[in-house]
Structure 1
Amino acid sequence: MIATTQLPPPRVFLAAVLLLGAEFCFASVSALVKYLSTDLPEEQLVFFRNIMAFLVLLPWLWRKGPGAFKTKAWGFHLSRGIAGIAAMYLFFYAIAALPLAQATLVLLLTPFLIPMIGRIWLHERVTRQTWFAIFIGFIGVFVFLNPVHMTLSPMIAVAFCAAVLAAFTKTLIRQMSGTESTSKIVFYFASISTVLSAIPLIWLWESIAQEHWLGLAAIGVFATAGQLGMTKAFSLAPAASVGVFTYSSVIFAAGFGYFFWQEPVYWHMAFGTLIIMVAGYFALRNRRRSEI
């Protein structure tokens, strides 16, 4: 009898492809930010990332109608907006100063920080297996950064703070999802982040060269495409099945950094990424078992 290889279900395969595409989009945003930051302040890039994404989302939001955005959770939305925009500022600062792969890798600590924030803030139970996966994840970051043989930039700490704030916002979203629709969460974050990021430009606005407008528009398009692709992927398949593909953004970022900025790629970076992917996989599998 001829042996056959069991293929993943079509929905899981499609979700994996969508997630890979989403992570490529996110890495593209980082590369565009790094490129444009040589001529434009990061504060201006944050504003255009938000307003361009808001404009791309506007037709979809318009079809929902004004009644879809009534809310009583103003505190949650405002907190999420402030924390989210702060995380974005810090991450953009880190991208401008660090190799792309380094900045992206540190931000990918976010999934490991969410259980820690949930434990401290919401007193949620965290299993031993999850704590072990978190520990292994941090070892992976240590291996990737290789601080014993390489001098680390202080901007690594800035990227880590961005990861902490990103984990906080995702914990807030989980709290809000019980009463707030996805449309509301997206609308209020897009609105609040656009308004907040416009304020510093009263003092920091710089004229924009004609050749940079396409890049600014592309940031919004790639950011929105990545968000929509990621959302669709996790609606097709559970995070435990496809979540490990989120770490592909490090590979894409390393590729962009190597080809466009000649940022070196070392063996310890690949080994560290592999450790983090394995730790993330087991953390997701354990979370799925704990929810059953």
Structure 2
Amino acid sequence: MTFDHRSHRHVIGMWLMAGVALVFASHDAISKTLIFSLPVIFVAWARYLVHSALVTTVILRSKGEKVFHTRRPWLHLLRAVCLLADSLTFLFGLTHVPIAESTALVFLAPAFVTILSPFFFGIKADRLQWLSVVLGFIGVLVIINPASDSFTLWMLFPLATALFFALYQLLTQLASETDSPSVCSFYVGVFSTLILSVIVPFYWAHPDWLQVGLLLVLGGLGLCAHFLMAQSYRFASSSVLAPLGYLQIIFATIYGILLFGNYPVASSVFGIGLIFISGLLVYGRRQPAAAAQ
């Protein structure tokens, strides 16, 4: 493969990953809009129901019944629990925390992966990676500013999201040792939907037609983001693409200003920058444990 051809493929992959960041930011903006008028549990259930139905249809059409075969169903159930905790803490946080700050705090997940990797895989971090962890947590302290009057415990919810997402990534890496990506995607979607289906009757709502449309779009955006992400990794490596994921913070900031009138203060911008640098240091020294769900 010539240098020009490889460079061209990298550019395509980078544009696709930028699209992933935009789709995920759009997904979060719609979620924040919906939770103003619908229960968080109901929104999460509808999102996973639509997403799981679409993913299952696509997988069954391409993979057939072998997608049901797994060696470790309990591991997939645990992944689903972590993914649900990830989604619900983020949505509950969005009820009180601006979307830009929420998104930035979630991007602390690579630092949590660095901290937890020795317990899962025996992989020890080097000095540069520990520096990235320290920078990330300094960025968090700058954003949430616990000494200020504006501090609220709701800001801890996106931090919990980052932790649960890191656990989900590590568990997905364990699952991928025996099961294909299709099997992993199928079971995490099904288990997540089933768990929420048990809870959602206590939070049932009657959305209007516009809200129904937005809920359908929400599930579709999830599938679209995963499709674009999978395609992007066909054209470029994770080391090239991972930093572009941080465009999601920029898109989230734009949505926050345009839709919700949330202008980030200077301290938040500085903290977001530190988390961004932290993530670049982590991704510069390791491969991501798993694709985002």
State the TM-score, normalized to the length of structure 2: 0.90
Equivalent-residue separation in structure 1 for 2:51 and 2:151 (angstroms): 33
Deviation at 1:139, TM superposition (A): 2.1
Alpha-carbon distance in 2 for matches of 1:105, 1:137: 10
**Alpha-carbon deviation of 1:251?**
0.8
After superposition, residues 1-292 of structure 1 pair within 5 angstroms as 9-63=7-61, 64-149=63-148, 151-287=150-286
CA pair 86-20 structure 1, distance change in 2 beyond 3 A? same
The 2-side partners of 1:14 and 1:149 are apart by 44
> Residues 120 and 170 of structure 2 are in contact (CA less than 8 Å); yes or no, is this contact kept in structure 1?
no
- Number of residue pairs matched by the alignment: 283
SS in 1 for 2:91: helix
> Per-residue displacement from partner, 1:148-206 (whole Å, max 9, x unpaired)?
55622211112211211110010011111121101000000111111111111222111
User: Which one-letter code corresponds to 2:220 in the other structure?
Assistant: V
CA separation of 1:71 and 1:8: change in aligned 2, threshold 3 A: closer
Query: Deviation per CA, 1:100-144, whole angstroms, max 9, x where unpaired?
Result: 011111111111111111123433221111111111122233334
RMSD: 1.9
Alignment-derived partner of residue 291 in structure 2 = none
- In 2, are the aligned partners of 1:69 and 1:183 still within 8 Å (CA)? no
Distance 2:57 2:282 in 1: 37
For structure 1, the residue ranges without an aligned partner over 5 or more in a row are 1-5
In structure 1, the partner of 2:290 is none
Q: Deviations over 1:192-224 (max 9, x none)?
A: 111111111222111111221111011111111
Residues 114 and 235 from structure 1, CA distance in 2 versus in 1: closer, same or farther, beyond 3 angstroms? farther
Shift of residue 24 of structure 1?
1.0
Q: CA deviation at 1:273?
A: 2.5
Find the counterpart in structure 2 of residue 3 from structure 1.
Answer: none
How much does 1:69 deviate? 2.5
User: What's the offset of the Cα at 1:27?
Assistant: 0.9
Q: Is the 8 A contact 1:31 1:100 kept in 2?
A: yes
Query: Which residues of structure 2 form unaligned runs of 5+?
Result: 288-293
Task: Give SS of 2:125's match.
Answer: coil
1:65-101 deviations in Å (ceiling 9; x for gaps): 1123211111211110111112111111111221101
CA deviation after TM superposition for structure 1 residue 55, in Å: 2.2
Q: Alpha-carbon deviations, 1:46-80, whole Å to 9, x = none?
A: 00110111222233112211123211111211110
- State, as a whole percentage, how many aligned pairs show the same letter: 22
**Contact map agreement 1:33 1:96 (CA 8 A) in 2:** no
